[in-house]
Amino acid sequence: MKSITPTRWQSTLFIVALTLLLPLRAFAAEDEDDSPLHKEMEGMNKNLRQLGHQYKDPARKDSSLALVASMQKHAETARTMTPPKVAKLTGDAQTALLDTFHKDLDGLIKEFPVLKDAIANNNTDAAKAEIDKIRGLKEAGHHDLGVGKGGEHHGAPPSGQ
């Protein structure tokens, strides 16, 4: 019987350690991914992606307006929640991060009526500008709160928009 070489032994040890540690990382991430807030944010993001594909189509105006209304509802619901990351903090750090979260969502919520008007009036240039602005607010909010790596977790916006 051959003896195991040091390189092979290290590789085997690495694979065993990786096999044991990966489930722990997935379990830790599960808390935030399963939170009610995460579900609201995912719903808003899904609507935004779909809207990015259809806002130019006059035949889909009603659907586009419904997507904007749904995004606004998701944002307003999310505004009433506390992010899991914030809940883990205390004192001034918690207050500051919660204030940032509310400020970012308030800025986002103010854009929905503007987007709705642009779509309702068939102004695709203004609608595109608002969609881009909302995407930018999403990125900035994620940066401010240190989540989603600038939207990577929530998916990239559709290309060519």
Query: pLDDT tens digits for the chain (161 residues)?
Result: 556 666 666 665 556 554 555 554 444 444 557 899 999 999 999 999 999 999 999 999 999 999 999 999 999 999 999 999 899 999 999 999 999 999 999 999 999 999 999 999 999 999 999 999 999 999 999 998 888 754 444 443 333 34
Amino acid at 159: S
**Is there a single domain that holds both residue 140 and residue 68?**
yes
For residue 156, being part of any structural domain is answered with: no
How confident is the model at residue 9, as a pLDDT?
A: 60
- Same domain? For 90 and 79 the reply is yes
Q: In terms of domains, do 41 and 92 share one?
A: yes
66 and 117 part of one domain? yes
What is the structure's pLDDT at 36? 95
How many beta carbons lie within 10 A of that of residue 9, not counting itself? 11
pLDDT at 72: 98
CB-count exposure of residue 151 (10 Å: 0-12, 13-18, 19+): middle
Question: Residues near 32 by Cβ (< 8 Å), separated by ≥ 6?
Answer: 38, 84, 85, 147
Domain encompassing residue 10: 1-33
58 shares its domain with 7 = no
Cα Rg for the chain, rounded, in angstroms? 21
Number of domains forming the structure of the chain = 2
